Amino acid sequence: MSVARFWRETPRRYNLGGSKCTQCGTVYFPPRLVCPECTHHRQSIEKMVPFQLSGNGEVLSYTVVHEAAEGFEMQVPYVVALVTTDEGPVLTGQIVEVDPERVRIGMRVRATFRKLREEGAAGVIHYGYKFAPEDDSERAPRNPPTEKLPASTSADRARA
41 phi, psi to nearest 5 deg: -50, -45
Among 27, 35, 91, 109, the residue binding Zn ion under the rule CB under 5 A is 35
Dihedral (CA of 111, 112, 118, 123) sign: positive
Q: CB of residue 101 vs Zn ion: minimum separation in angstroms?
A: 40
Among 16, 21, 81, 91, the residue binding Zn ion under the rule CB under 5 A is 21
Number of residues that bind Zn ion (CB under 5 A): 8
Binding of residue 23 to Zn ion (CB under 5 A): yes
Binding of residue 22 to Zn ion (CB under 5 A): no
CB nearer to Zn ion: give 38 or 124: 38
Choose among 38, 40, 20, 39: nearest CA to 30: 20
Give CA separation, 46 vs 17, 24, 42, 79, in Å: 18, 13, 8, 39
Residues of this chain that interact with Zn ion (CB under 5 A) are: 21, 23-24, 26, 35, 37-38, 44
